[in-house]
């Protein structure tokens, strides 16, 4: 069936007739559970209950944040759920009839998490005796790929981990002797019909036998199990959509129960009285396993939708961009979709648009300051609009749809506006009447913001990047001749064009200063501080603005020059009209009229000019994973003085007004105006307290929905949208906007829409949730246990760390901290800690605060001691460090020291750091295990493959040292094996594919995730939310798409089964060790012995070197 055909089908039930609810019933109901005669569910961020027959719902919670994953206790009297009352995800219990919830967990959750990772401390149910709550957490995990299941007493206490080493969803058998669970967790991923290596299977774990059995064993997704009697019910997408299935525990037979088409069944739960609740297309269904009847519930939720209410609010925390008027007196700020005119000194802040729910951005002043241009989606498509400086006279200029628009800029005379469209085409539209916007330059390499008008408005200079070489080229478009001319040379990158105000020079940044920086870990280079500033004399008689000064005895040049300058300035003010500048260009021989500015090469990101000075911004080199050593600086080269000077430090963004010699600088969250004409510029704060607007969430939800849909239409990596009818998909989901009650509802709806495209990296996250501030918990790198006899907590385990790295610092192992395993913790920060307390509640401290522990070897105060501890923010890094240290020691021991081991957690800063730390010290191992299991992706796999693939071309010897050098240096000489699994993802996928492709060694483990269509940042949505559009696909050198949707198959398939892991074994790692041992035996690793010393005396035999 074609994807288009699928969307025309009605929702159908399989095993029984479906009663469809009335159109007025509330939709977008999620996370249901059923017990007895009641159903509990989430809507608009709160919990509600209703009858199993439907009807009007009753509110159960009204807390801030999201309350979700509610589960009834076995006797239906209580409800456990995951809530965000305190800003992070914690487990709570509330009476099923309502009341005050009781918080059970206090351990700090990781996050805030993107939507695709779901929630920490997610509740899944109860133990069959109703004494404890079952939930999932990352508290003891080495990374987010491996959460675990825990139970916590409903009466309070510390949680207990279940034996399975990795687990997502879980549900107990009725007698509690077994549990059905999924070792993999990806329930919140927005990728329909996924069949990659991360697809979940369901297992039954037997607590007595300590064994696990795969009961689904299917390449598709199997999730949301419910155990009733001797059958496990679950959801699976073995067809086009998720449906309900039944697995008979005795016979092992599986039967499909429903046959929905057009929408997934989701979030199945229940079990009481043989009932299962789940959601289909925003409506709750109850399936009766006794009668095989499926009922759609007609539910009305009388919510006040408090999170969706419109209100006046400060929006200065949602600034997207800003611009400065040419006279330097007013600035335009776009924030929360509105355009504001802000006085830089005196006056009133004006909201010029007053369009709640529209995403208006990229506002720009005309040269005379009487009008502004901006991008607006007022008519459902982005267009260039203009209006007067007082906000009146809004006019739409562009009448065609050009997709997402960027960087509107006025011509100096105000007659035209240039902009860039979603296909990277530079266009120009007339400001008088608008109409067609012809293409000026059409190339996918055009920079969307890196272009400039000449001061007379006759030319546009722009930058494009060559697709093959990645070299940036500078072009000038002649509007009269309708042609583009390359300028600035083709051998090195040229970008950042800026015309001088008199139209005589075109300045640009050029990467031409190649003094490389050498790596500290290998003999290799990186280009850093390679940019200089250059000027092109646009006419054949052009002058050199940096020419040496030459004093004369018969004339005061400075005085005459100043006098002439004043006369010219007076004449210019008297006769000048915007754009009335002679900016003719003599293209013949232009590149030979290149002038280098006499400034030191640096990392230069922007240039601008006044008649008196050249301004530019410098910054430190790019450090992956940390800030540079020094902050970005605004500098000036003063022409008359022929010298550089610092203007301002810590530049995050700027808007320039050369006519008034003013610049508006963003520095952190502050905005400062700098008068560049002053002898010593003094930054002055620009007040933004007037950035108030009416925020209408419901209107914003509709705007965000449309913008997300358009971004996918305009930027998805293939035009055919994977064969799906994108218009039909919009028509399917857009009506659900009527029921969106908060931002979590919207993200859920958007996630379902983009999931239809069957592609990885289709993410929706963030937005305006208005959560309470997350609590700060000072973790001490230890685990507690309760001594029931004394009613006191003690230290059960101290997490291993490495105190030479802040990331892996373990607080209780630091010198001077006298803390030991077995010590009783009598008090935390002076507060007594007893059996009824939770130690993590007492560890909630102010950021940066030390923690004082009162410790003793016995459970009383006699002889107790106090220690001060510098806590850490999270303990996942300590768990990871202990795991990698164990693996490395294990490989060392199993191989007698001949093999090495390294783990690469991602293909980003963390991955590079771990690779550098572990690779170079093990260069002379005979074999190396490269572990990319659970690799979270990034963009540096090519750097690592390049180093692993190096082969020695020669050797080097010298006197005074015995080590044999290689050419190239830092070349690994031994055999390689790589480990991968289902959560080896994104650039980790690519690494695995390229490792195989390069034949570097066997790839061992499980099929990888299979998501390699990359993404880029297209800017925030109106409320600060994010959406990623898969845009860059991976293909083989033969020209076929690879990996996406399937993953990379290992050369040697090995599963790390639960029994092995419970026994402390790692079959994948063991297999890698075995393969490397075999490879070494077949092809021993070594270097030839040092050659004999050459004899070069006259009577020596002739030979090489004689």
- Which residues carry out catalysis? 761, 986, 1044
Closest CA to 802 of 924, 866, 888, 891: 888
CA distance linking residue 209 with residue 641, whole number of Å: 85
Q: Which residue has the tokens 């901006």?
A: 374
Angstrom CA distances, 314 to 311, 333, 692, 1055, stand at 10, 13, 4, 54
The answer to whether 301 and 312 are in contact (CB under 8 A) is: no
**DSSP single-letter state for residue 117:** G
**DSSP single-letter state for residue 231:** E
Residue 716, token pair as written in the block:
């998805």
Residue 1078, token pair as written in the block:
């075999």
Closest CA to 140 of 781, 1060, 1067, 835: 781
To 10 degrees, the CA torsion angle through 272, 273, 278, 284?
Answer: -120
Kind plus residue range of the DSSP H or E element containing 708:
helix 697-715
CA distance linking residue 762 with residue 864, whole number of Å: 55
Beta carbons within 8 Å of 630's beta carbon, 6+ residues apart: 619, 620
Closest CA to 456 of 586, 582, 611, 609: 582
Residue 655, token pair as written in the block:
């808007």
Residue 154, token pair as written in the block:
């409903």
Closest CA to 344 of 660, 697, 726: 660
Residue 927, token pair as written in the block:
């074999």
CB atoms within 10 A of CB 408: 24
Closest CA to 170 of 144, 148, 198: 148
Kind plus residue range of the DSSP H or E element containing 204:
strand 203-206
Phi, psi of 221, deg, nearest 5: -85, 130
CB atoms within 10 A of CB 987: 27
CA distance linking residue 959 with residue 245, whole number of Å: 74
Phi, psi of 101, deg, nearest 5: -75, 150
Q: What SS3 class is residue 677?
A: coil
Angstrom CA distances, 1098 to 596, 881, 1104, stand at 56, 62, 14
The answer to whether 52 and 275 are in contact (CB under 8 A) is: yes
Which neighbouring-strand residues pair with 1051? none
CA distance linking residue 538 with residue 262, whole number of Å: 62
CB atoms within 10 A of CB 275: 23
């Amino acid at each position: 069936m074609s994807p288009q055909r699928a969307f025309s089908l009605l929702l159908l039930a399989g095993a029984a007739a479906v009663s469809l609810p009335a159109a007025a019933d509330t939709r977008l109901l999620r996370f249901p559970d059923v017990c007895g005669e009641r159903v509990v569910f989430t809507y608009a961020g709160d919990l509600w209950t209703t009858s199993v027959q439907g009807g009007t719902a009753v509110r159960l919670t009204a807390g801030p944040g999201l309350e979700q994953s509610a589960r009834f206790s076995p006797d239906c009297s209580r409800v456990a759920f995951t809530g965000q009352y305190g800003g992070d995800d914690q487990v709570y219990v509330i009476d099923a009839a309502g009341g005050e919830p009781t918080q059970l967990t206090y351990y700090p959750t990781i996050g805030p998490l993107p939507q695709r990772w779901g929630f920490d401390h997610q509740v899944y149910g109860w133990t069959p005796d109703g004494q404890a709550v079952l939930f999932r957490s990352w508290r003891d995990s080495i990374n987010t790929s491996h959460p675990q299941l825990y139970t916590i007493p409903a009466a309070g206490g510390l949680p207990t981990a279940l034996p399975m080493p990795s687990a997502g969803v879980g549900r107990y058998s009725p007698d509690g002797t077994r549990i059905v669970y999924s070792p993999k967790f990806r329930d919140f991923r927005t990728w329909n019909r996924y069949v990659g290596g991360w697809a979940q299977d369901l297992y039954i774990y037997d607590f007595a036998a300590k064994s696990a059995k795969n009961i689904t064993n299917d390449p598709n997704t199997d999730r949301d199990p419910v155990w009733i009697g001797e059958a496990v019910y679950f959801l699976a997408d073995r067809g086009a959509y998720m449906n309900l299935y039944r697995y008979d525990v005795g016979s092992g037979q599986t039967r499909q129960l429903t046959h929905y088409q057009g929408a997934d069944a989701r979030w199945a739960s229940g079990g009481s009285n043989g009932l299962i609740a789940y959601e289909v297309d925003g409506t709750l269904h109850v399936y009766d396993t006794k009668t095989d009847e499926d009922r759609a519930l007609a539910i009305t939720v009388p919510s006040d939708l408090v999170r969706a209410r419109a209100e006046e609010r400060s929006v200065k925390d949602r600034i997207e961009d800003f611009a400065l008027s040419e006279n330097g007196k007013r600035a335009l700020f776009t924030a929360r979709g509105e355009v504001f005119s802000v006085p830089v000194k005196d006056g009133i802040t004006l909201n010029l648009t007053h369009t709640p729910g529209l995403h208006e951005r990229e506002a720009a002043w005309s040269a005379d300051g009487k009008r502004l241009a901006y991008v607006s989606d007022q008519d459902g498509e982005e267009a260039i609009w203009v209006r007067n400086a007082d906000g009146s006279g809004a006019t739409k200029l562009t009448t065609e749809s050009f997709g997402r628009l960027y960087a509107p800029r006025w011509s100096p005379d105000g007659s035209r506006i240039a902009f860039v469209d979603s296909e990277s085409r530079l266009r120009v539209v007339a400001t008088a009447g608008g109409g067609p916007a012809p293409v000026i330059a059409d190339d996918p390499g055009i920079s969307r913001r890196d272009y400039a008008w000449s001061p007379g408005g006759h030319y546009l200079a722009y930058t494009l990047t060559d697709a093959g070489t990645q070299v940036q080229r500078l072009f000038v478009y002649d509007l009269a001749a309708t042609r583009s001319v390359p300028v600035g040379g083709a051998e090195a990158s040229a970008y950042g064009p800026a015309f001088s105000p008199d139209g005589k020079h075109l300045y640009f940044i050029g990467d031409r200063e190649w003094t490389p920086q050498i790596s500290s870990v290998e003999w290799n280079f990186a280009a850093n501080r390679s940019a200089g500033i250059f000027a092109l004399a646009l006419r054949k008689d052009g002058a050199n603005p940096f020419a040496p000064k030459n004093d004369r005895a018969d004339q005061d040049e400075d005085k005459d020059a100043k006098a002439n300058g004043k006369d010219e300035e007076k004449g210019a003010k008297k006769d000048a009209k915007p754009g009335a500048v002679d900016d003719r260009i003599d293209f013949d021989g232009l590149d030979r009229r290149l002038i280098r500015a006499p400034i030191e090469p640096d990392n230069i990101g922007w240039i601008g000019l006044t008649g008196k000075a050249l301004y530019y911004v410098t910054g430190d080199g790019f450090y992956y994973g940390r800030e540079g050593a020094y902050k970005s600086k605004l500098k000036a080269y003063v022409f008359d003085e022929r010298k550089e000077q610092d203007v301002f430090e810590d530049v995050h963004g700027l808007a320039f007004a050369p006519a008034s010699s003013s610049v508006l600088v963003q520095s952190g969250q502050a905005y400062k105006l700098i008068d560049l004409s002053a002898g010593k510029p003094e930054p002055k704060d620009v007040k933004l307290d007037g950035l108030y607007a009416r925020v209408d969430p419901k209107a914003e939800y509709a705007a965000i929905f449309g913008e997300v849909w358009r971004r996918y239409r305009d930027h998805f990596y293939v035009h055919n949208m994977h064969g799906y009818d994108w218009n039909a998909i919009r028509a399917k989901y857009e009506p659900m906007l009527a029921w969106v009650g908060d931002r979590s509802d919207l993200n859920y709806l958007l996630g379902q829409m983009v999931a239809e495209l069957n592609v990885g990296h289709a993410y929706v996250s963030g937005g305006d949730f208005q959560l309470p501030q997350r609590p700060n918990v000072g973790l001490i790198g230890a685990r507690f246990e309760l001594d029931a006899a004394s009613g006191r907590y003690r230290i059960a385990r101290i997490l291993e760390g490495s105190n030479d790295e802040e990331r892996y610092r373990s607080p209780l192992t630091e010198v001077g901290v006298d803390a030991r395993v077995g010590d009783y913790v009598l008090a935390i920060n002076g507060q007594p800690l007893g059996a009824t307390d939770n130690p993590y509640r007492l560890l909630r401290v102010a950021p940066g605060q030390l923690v004082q522990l009162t410790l003793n070897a016995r459970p009383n105060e006699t002889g107790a001691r106090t220690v001060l501890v510098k806590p850490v923010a999270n303990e996942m890094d300590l768990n990871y460090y202990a795991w990698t240290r164990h693996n490395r020691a294990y490989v060392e021991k199993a191989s007698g020291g001949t093999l090495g081991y390294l783990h690469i957690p991602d293909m980003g800063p963390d991955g590079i750091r771990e690779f550098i730390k572990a690779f170079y010290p093990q260069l002379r191992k005979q074999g190396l295990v490269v572990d990319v299991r659970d690799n979270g992706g990034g963009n540096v796999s090519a750097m690592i493959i390049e180093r692993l693939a190096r082969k020695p071309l020669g050797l080097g010897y010298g006197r005074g040292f015995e080590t044999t050098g290689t050419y190239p240096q830092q070349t690994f000489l031994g055999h390689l094996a790589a480990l991968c699994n289902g959560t080896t993802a994104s650039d980790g996928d690519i690494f695995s594919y390229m490792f195989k492709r390069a034949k570097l060694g066997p790839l061992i483990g499980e099929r990888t995730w299979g998501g390699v269509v990359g993404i880029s940042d297209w800017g925030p949505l109106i409320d600060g939310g994010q959406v990623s559009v898969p845009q860059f696909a991976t293909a083989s050198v033969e020209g076929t798409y690879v990996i996406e949707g399937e993953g990379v198959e290992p050369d040697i398939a090995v599963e790390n089964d639960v029994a092995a892991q419970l026994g402390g074994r790692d079959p994948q790692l063991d297999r890698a060790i075995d393969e490397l041992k075999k490879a070494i035996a077949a092809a021993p690793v070594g270097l030839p012995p040092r050659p004999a010393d050459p004899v070069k005396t006259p009577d020596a035999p002739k030979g090489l070197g004689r």
